[in-house]
Structures are given as structure tokens and as C-alpha cells.
Chains A and B, each alone.
Chain A
Amino acid sequence: MTIYYNEMVDGGLVREPYAMLSDWIETMPAEIRQMKQAEAEALFRRIGITFAVYGEGGDPDRLIPFDMMPRVFLQGEWRRLERGIKQRARGLNAFLRDVYGRGEIVRAGRIPAPLVYRNAAYEKAVVGFVPPRGVFSHIVGIDIVRTGRDEFHVLEDNCRTPSGVSYMLENREIMMRMFPALFRNNRIEPVDQYPELLRRTLASVAPAKCEGEPTVVILTPGHYNSAYYEHSFLANLMGVELVEGSDLFVDGGFVYMRTTQGPKRVDVIYRRIDDQFLDPLCFRRDSMLGVPGLMDVWRSGGVSIASAPGAGVADDKAVYTFVPEMIRFYLGEEPILNNVQTWTLWKDDDYRYVMANLKDLVVKEVHGSGGYGMLIGPRATKAEIEAFAERIKADPGNYIAQPTLALSTSPTFVDEGVAPRHVDLRPFCLCGDRIELVPGGLTRVALREGSLVVNSSQGGGVKDTWVLSE
């Protein structure tokens, strides 16, 4: 029997961060709660915060369920998390600088060469290039789970284009609108400076050839993308143009956007499209989303791209196991946040152990995301486990395994009242001339009783995340 850490109740007592919320819950009758919940949903729909689930048909405009019960961190808890997150972001960027340069960490034998150089996300076109300020990944999303009072583990790093920050901001906005008294009576650190910090971070990595105030744009695949709302939301709050590939063109070593007043030079592109689609001359030739010639301009210092092409080599699930090693190697520090114990199936020992213990483990594809293509041993039937074992045998190198984590629970509104549900956390760390982290992040919650999968595509919801100030 696994014991799950309950963030609200510890040793039979309501923990301090949730103390004031238990009053709030008790004084809110069921009908008011239902009314507020309906109000929140109407707000989300009216603002247009919806996402698309691919390939399932039905209503393309879906809402991610919003749980009004906030998740709360104490100042002290957060400070430690913050140090750990920033440390990890520094380590990941140091790794990227290294593997596209001399590859010291590989030469030192701390990471196997094939894992880096044969990685699908390793971009040969990037080798030998150092982007402005040496930053490859400017927005690092680090997925964190809690398993005990002082135990936090990193589940996954996202060095390319982590999404979800619009929910962090909108969840707060809606909570403040619906329950102003909660915010008056508690000292909750604000998160709404994020867009400004992001704009500053992006401007700080403008290329040397940039003259005057840098022009920043967000590059989106277009309005059919499931995260389009987030792209336009951020562009709006930062006051920058939201462009599609066809709005940009390359001329004489620079990138320009087509405007009603003629061409305008672009200095920094915050791209929300994958590497493979960035430049049809360099990557996929059939890409209609990118800009022909963009990579040449980038490499010659005419424009900055955030995150840099090739940044994905730092965040796949196989490289993940070496992140603590990176922190020791580059920073000479001990990692503040631990990894989850991980078995890599291309190692014989690990392979044998995992195959013998499938029923107790979670097995994931190295390049999978969104909760797809994974096996949760304790929840799977015998037939499912056997079917999955066949898939592993066919290509062991494509899988890693982890123990089923005792994800902490946070109080959550359910039909019967308030009940514990499992949660994780994605904070968004910004790397430019400085490393910045707003106090908060996106808390995802598995709304089904007992479920450990928090992905929105699998029935997960979101919560506002509070950090209490001293």
C-alpha cells in the first residue's frame, strides 16, 4: 500500500498553508460553489481559453477543467524549489553550450556519446554556434512532483517550447476576480509580471547586429494549433507581433516581417513551432510553417531564436537521467532537486530488472509526451502488460522505466465536497542575461479519484498555484 503525501493534512492536522482555506471551504455552501464554478467556466469560454484535442472529433473548443481550490506553497518551500529550478536551468543550458561545442562532458565519459550525437533532437546545423549570451533554452519548463513534506522530484524537463503559462496567468486572474477577499486576507505573491519578464528576457538575447530597441515577435504555427490561444495571449501581454511563417522573409542577412508600412526588421523570434518546421531550406522541405533561409541568418547573428534550434537534445527522457550529472559537472554543485529513479532499457541490467517488474513500474517512450504511449504497471491488466512487453522487446532503446511515484495530493473540489487528488507542478524558468522565476506555476490535477495522470488530454484539470509571502 503506497502512502501518498497529502499537502493539506499532515499528522492529522491541517497544515499552515491550507488553514485559511479550510474556513473558506466551510463557509461556502454547495449552491454558491456550483454557481461560482459555472461562473468560472463561462469566463474561460468567453475569454476563449480553450484547447483542441487532436484526432478525437467532437467539439474542437474544449475547456481544461478548472478547480477553484488553490494549491499553496509556503515561502520556505518555494525558496528551495526556486533554487533547485534555477540551478537545473543553468545546468541544462551549460550542457547545450557544451554539446554543440567541444563536448567536454562526453569526452570526460560522463554521458555516453551516442545518447547525445545520435539523438534525433541533436541538430548538426547548430554545431559550432554559440547564441547570444550562450543561452540555448530561454524558457525552461520543469515538471515537478512532490512525494513528501520535503521531497520534490523532477519528472521531466522541457527545453523547447513548454506551454501552459497562459493557464498560470489566467487561473490567477479568474481567482482574483471571483474571490477578491481571499487575496485581501492572504499575502499571495503575484505572478502577473511574467509577460514583462519574458519580454525583457527575449530582448536581452538580441543579436549583436541589432540596432536600438530589439523587435521581438512570437512565431506561431497558426490558429489551428491547440496552443494558439496561449501564443496570442502572450503576444498581447508583451505587446509584440504574433507572426506566422508567411509573414516573415529573409533578405540580405536579416529577417523582416511584412507590414502595412513595408518590411520591418525582426531581431528576436520566440518560436512556438518545432525545429523541423523552422526553415524548409535546412530541415523539412515541405514545411509551410517556417521561413526559408532563417537558419543562415540565425547562424550569422542576424536574428535570435528562442529557444535555439537543437535545444531539445537536453530534454528527452534518456538524457534526463544525466541532468544531476550535468549539474555536478558544469556547476560543481550538488543537485538541489532530485531526479526520479530511472531505468534505461538499453542497459542490460536495467532491461532485465524492468521486464521482470513491469507490473510495478511506469514505462515511457523516450520521445513520447502528453501521457500517450506509456504503461502504468499497477493500473494495467495482464494482457496490457504483455502487449506492452512485446513493444519494448522490439526496440528497448526507445523506453525508460520509473517506479510509480507516490504523487502528493492537494485538496480539490469534487461532487461530494473536497477530496484529495494527485497533482504536479510546472514552473516556467526564464534564461537571458539573468535567470528569473515567478513565484508560481501551473498545477495540474488528476480529477479522477485515484488517477495519477494529470495531462489535460487524459482528464486532468488545472489549479491556481499560490506562494505565500513571509
Chain B
Amino acid sequence: MLSRTAANLFWMGRHLERAETAARLLDVGARITLLPNTAEGYRNEWESLLRASGAQAAFAERYGDEITQENVETWLFFDHANPSSVASCIERAREGGRIVRTALTSQVWDALNSAYQDLRALERRSRGQLDPAMLTDFTTRHSSTVRGAINATQLRNDGWHFINLGYSLERADATARLLDVKYFVLLPRVEFVGSGLDNYQWQVILRALSAHRAFHWAYGGEVTASKVADFLILNGESPRSLLTSLYEAVWHLDGLVRRYGAAVPASASARAHETLEQLIARDIEAIFDEGLHEFLSWFINEVASISNAVHDDYLSGRM
């Protein structure tokens, strides 16, 4: 497979996952504004959302300090100046897919292209007809269709591994960042830890990952920091946990190593195995003792290293 093709497939996976992350953020923000909460009112909540997406500065550059629902919606969904907006991600995923049409089944291309065509139709509609729930549904519906088409029709070859590597590394990164934001941004002062506000925000995180119901099935009882963190970091059943995402990445890297044999460098696989071992060696108490932020910084860094190693091993086009 051409290195450029592999790179496009990898980034197609990342962008599809990233679109979903943006839509989830939008959904959770809209949900919070429906509830009476902090003294500062809704404004503060939209702001925390922007922080969660790591885009506060970029947003301010474009909209000033007007953190209104409509502006945030525009930013997270429609704005092509935001590289992580749903529209940007779908467009880039589709463009990547168009470049490597030959590596996709017609069902996958069809799903991807339909998402893009529907997005363009959506962009032409007046904003009054659109609400956040609908935008989120739009995104998750299309991303599920693409995902389903990939799973059902793509050959289980190297291209499939690259798409899924993109998905799993992006997902690992997104979950880790969201968790990190919770601890360092959402919660302003350390005495709030364990307070009602703290627990409420944990629920928000769970919702952001569409995991609140799954959480209750898995743990039951009260929502506490350590239970949520355990669910999102170390639980192998949770579909978006760090462990699950990393495990999937390792699985696909192993697939590549088996397929390509000893002639092709395998530094990404080695790196991912190492990270996985270090992750499994921890329990949730150890992580809290170490400091959640420190742990997450380490993990985000590891994911970036694995991603770079994937680039060096497969995508850079060694001569």
C-alpha cells in the first residue's frame, strides 16, 4: 500500500472520531444549560465546554468574549475555521476518502459522501430550524453509518488496520483530554473535590462520552470521582476508556507487524505494548496518588509518541 494512502486512511479515521467528539461536546453543553446550576448561569458552562475542547483562545479570536449558545454551536459544528468542528472533520475525512477512493469499498465511500452531501444541505438551512440535539444526532448517525460500513465491508487488510489505528488513537487522546480538563479546568478550587459540584461535573463528563448509562450498569450506586475515573481509564468493557482504546491500537499494530514481517520497522508496536503494560500495572488508587493530571499528561504524551512512531514506520515513505 502507498504510504500516502495509508496516511490518508489513518487521518480519515482520526477525523471521523474527532467529529464525534465535537458533537458530543455540543450535546453535553446544551444539556447543562437546561439545568439550573451555578450562580454564574449558563455562560460559565459554555465557557467550560470551550475549555474542554481546548479551543478557548481560538474561539475568543473569532468571536471575542461573546460566549453565547449560538456562537459556540457555530464554532463546534459549522465553523470551517475551527479544524476540530464537525463540519471541518467531516469535510477532511471525506476529502481524505476521495483521495484514496481505491482503498475504500463503495459502501464506505457512499456513507462518507452522503455524510458530506447531507452536511452541505444542512449548512444551507436556516439556523432557526436546527437545534443542538438534532446536530448531535446528525453527527452520530452519520459516523455510525460510516463506521458500520467500514466494519461490514472493508477487507481486513493493512488499510483496515490504518483506519482503525486512527480511530483508536484519536479516541484515547480525546478521552484523556476530557478527563484532564475536568480536573484542571472545570474544578476551580481544590476544596470542591468531593463536593456536590464535583460529582455533578463527573456526570457531565460521563454524558459527554455517552457513557452515563453504561456507567450505572457497570458500577451502580453513587457517582464518585474514583469510580468514574476507573470506568474511563481502566475499565476494559467501557468502549471509550483509555485501556480499551489503547488495547485496540495495539491489536491493529500487531496486525500490521504480522502482515508486514520483519523487513518493516515496528517501533510503533513496541512503543504501544510498553505503554499498555505500564497502564495495566496501575490501579485507580495508584493513579490518584500519582496525581490524575500527571498521569494523564504522561498518557497523552505516550499516545503522541505512538502516533509519531506510526508515521515513521509506515506513513513517511522510507526510500
Q: Do A and B come from one complex?
A: yes
Interface residues of A (CB under 8 A from B): 45-48, 223, 228, 232-233, 235-236, 241-244, 246-247, 249, 251, 256-263
**How distant is A406 from chain B, measured CB to nearest CB, in Å?**
41
Binary flags per residue of B90-118, CB closer than 8 Å to A gives 1, else 0: 00000100110110001001100110010
Cβ–Cβ contact A258 & B318, under 8 A: yes
Are the C-beta atoms of A260 and B117 separated by less than 8 Å? no
The docked-state distance in angstroms from the alpha carbon of A265 to that of B4 is 16
Query: Given contacts A260-B256, A262-B318, A263-B319, could you give 6 more A-B pairs where the C-beta distance is less than 8 Å?
Result: A45-B117, A223-B99, A236-B101, A260-B2, A260-B3, A261-B264
Closest to A251 in B: B319
Q: Whose C-beta in chain B lies nearest to the C-beta of A228? A: B98
Partner of B158, one of A235, A260, A263: A260
B288 at the binding interface (Cβ < 8 Å)? no
Q: Would you call A46 and B2 a contact (CB within 8 A)? A: no
Q: A48-B109, A236-B102 are in contact. Are A259 and B95 (CB under 8 A)?
A: no
Name the residue of chain A whose CB is nearest to the CB of B94.
A48
Closest Cβ of chain B to A117, distance in Å, is 39
A259 touches B319 (CB 8 A): no
Across-interface contacts of B256 in A (CB, < 8 A): 260
A-B residue pairs in contact (CB < 8 Å), sample of 30: A45-B117, A46-B110, A47-B106, A47-B110, A48-B101, A223-B99, A228-B98, A232-B101, A232-B102, A235-B102, A242-B102, A244-B4, A246-B4, A247-B2, A247-B3, A247-B317, A251-B319, A257-B2, A258-B4, A258-B317, A259-B3, A260-B1, A260-B3, A260-B6, A260-B158, A260-B256, A260-B264, A260-B314, A261-B1, A263-B318
- Tell me whether A262 and B264 are in contact (CB under 8 A): yes
Complex CA distance for A307 and B2, rounded to whole angstroms: 23
Q: Which of B98, B99, B263 contacts A261 (CB 8 A)?
A: B263
Residues of A within 8 A of B101 (CB): 48, 232-233, 236, 242
Q: Nearest Cβ distance between residue B41 and chain A, in whole angstroms? A: 42
Residues of B within 8 A of A259 (CB): 1-3, 317
Nearest neighbor of A235 in chain B, beta-carbon distance: B102
Determine the distance from Cα of A47 to Cα of B318 in the docked complex, in whole angstroms. Answer: 34
- Report Cα–Cα, A46/B264, bound state, in Å: 38
**Contacts of B200 on A, CB cut-off 8 Å?**
none
Residues B114 and A261 in contact, CB atoms below 8 Å apart:
no
- Alpha-carbon gap, A48 to B100, bound state (A): 13
User: B271 to nearest A CB, angstroms?
Assistant: 17
Set of chain A residues within 8 Å of B318, measured between Cβ atoms:
258, 262-263
List residues of chain B with CB under 8 Å of any chain A CB: 1-6, 95, 98-99, 101-102, 106, 109-110, 113-114, 117, 158, 256, 260, 263-264, 314-315, 317-319
A232 to B99, CA, bound (A): 8
Q: Are B2 and A241 in contact (CB under 8 A)?
A: yes
Instruction: Pick the contact of B95: A223, A262, A263 (CB < 8 A).
Output: A223
A241 to B1, CA, bound (A): 8
Contacts of A235 in B (CB 8 A): 102
Q: How far is the CA of A91 from the CA of B14 in the complex (A)?
A: 53
Main secondary structure of the interface of A (DSSP, over half): mixed
Query: How far is it, in angstroms, between the C-alpha of A31 and the C-alpha of B159 when the chains are bound?
Result: 44
| In contact, B260 and A260 (Cβ under 8 angstroms) | yes
Q: Is the CB of B2 within 8 A of A262?
A: no
CA distance A261 to B161 in the complex (A): 14
Roughly how many angstroms separate A265 CA and B34 CA in the complex, as a whole number? 61
* Complex alpha-carbon distance, A190 and B31, angstroms: 58
What is the CB-to-nearest-CB distance from B318 to chain A, in angstroms, rounded to a whole number? 6
What residue in chain A is nearest B316 (Cβ atoms)? A258
Residue of A nearest to B101 (CB): A232
- Which residue from chain B places its CB closest to the CB of A220 in the assembled complex? B99
Given A46-B114, A235-B102, A236-B102: A261 in contact with B2 (beta carbons within 8 A): no
Chain A residues with CB below 8 A from B98, complex form: 48, 223, 228, 232
CA of A241 to CA of B2 in the docked complex: distance in angstroms? 8
Q: Residues of A contacting B319 with CB < 8 Å? A: 249, 251, 256, 258, 263
| Bound-state Cα–Cα, A34 to B256, Å | 50
Cα–Cα, bound, A262→B264 (Å): 7
Complex Cα spacing A46 to B317, Å = 32
- Name which of A45, A228, A258 has the most chain B CB atoms within 10 A of its CB: A258
Chain B nearest CB from A320 CB (Å) reads 35
Residues of chain B with a CB closer than 8 A to A246's CB: 4
CB contacts (< 8 Å) of B4 on chain A: these are 244, 246-247, 258
Q: Chain A residues near B99: list those with CB within 8 A.
A: 223
Most-contacted residue by chain B among A47, A48, A235 (CB, 10 A): A48
CA gap between A251 and B102 in the complex, in Å: 27
Q: How far is the CA of A13 from the CA of B106 in the complex (A)?
A: 44
B260 neighbours in A (Cβ, 8 Å): 260-261
> CA of A312 to CA of B23 in the docked complex: distance in angstroms?
52
Q: How far is the CA of A249 from the CA of B264 in the complex (A)?
A: 19
Contact residues in B for A257 (Cβ distance below 8 Å): 2
Closest chain-B Cβ to A243's Cβ sits at a distance in Å of: 6
In the complex, what distance in Å separates the CA atom of A46 from the CA atom of B110?
6
B198 to chain A, nearest CB (A): 46
Would B102 and A258 count as touching, CB distance under 8 A? no
Give Cα A433–Cα B110 distance, bound, in whole angstroms.
38
With contact pairs A223-B99, A241-B2, A244-B4 given, residues A260 and B263 touching in the complex (Cβ less than 8 Å): no
In the bound complex, what is the Cα–Cα distance between A260 and B319 (angstroms)? 11
Shortest CB distance A174–B (Å): 14
Which residues of chain B are near A262, meaning CB under 8 Å? Answer: 263-264, 318
CB distance from A235 to the nearest CB of B (A): 5
Closest chain A CB from B79 CB (angstroms) = 20
Complex: A152 Cα to B315 Cα, angstroms = 52
Q: Which residues of A contact B263 (CB under 8 A)?
A: 261-262
Distance to closest chain A CB from B92 (angstroms): 12
Set of chain B residues within 8 Å of A243, measured between Cβ atoms: 2
Bound CA span A46–B118, Å: 11
Minimum Cβ distance to chain A for residue B191 (Å): 52
Give A233 to B102 CA distance when docked, in angstroms: 7
Closest to A258 in B: B317
Shortest Cβ gap from A457 to chain B (Å): 22
When chains A and B are docked, how far (Å) is the Cα of A231 from the Cα of B163?
23
The docked-state distance in angstroms from the alpha carbon of A261 to that of B113 is 30
B256 CB → nearest A CB, Å: 8
Provide the residues of chain B in CB contact with A47, threshold 8 Å: 106, 110
Query: Considering residues B4, B6, B106, B114, which has the most beta carbons from chain A within 10 angstroms of its beta carbon?
Result: B4
- Across the A-B interface, give the 8 residue pairs with the lowest CB-CB distance, nearest first: A258-B317, A232-B101, A260-B314, A236-B102, A258-B3, A223-B99, A260-B6, A235-B102
Contacts of A241 in B (CB 8 A): 2, 5, 102
- Give CA–CA (A251, B318) in the complex, Å: 13
CB distance from B121 to the nearest CB of A (A): 11
Q: Which residues of A contact B114 (CB under 8 A)?
A: 46
Q: How near does chain B come to A219, taking the closest CB pair, in angstroms?
A: 12
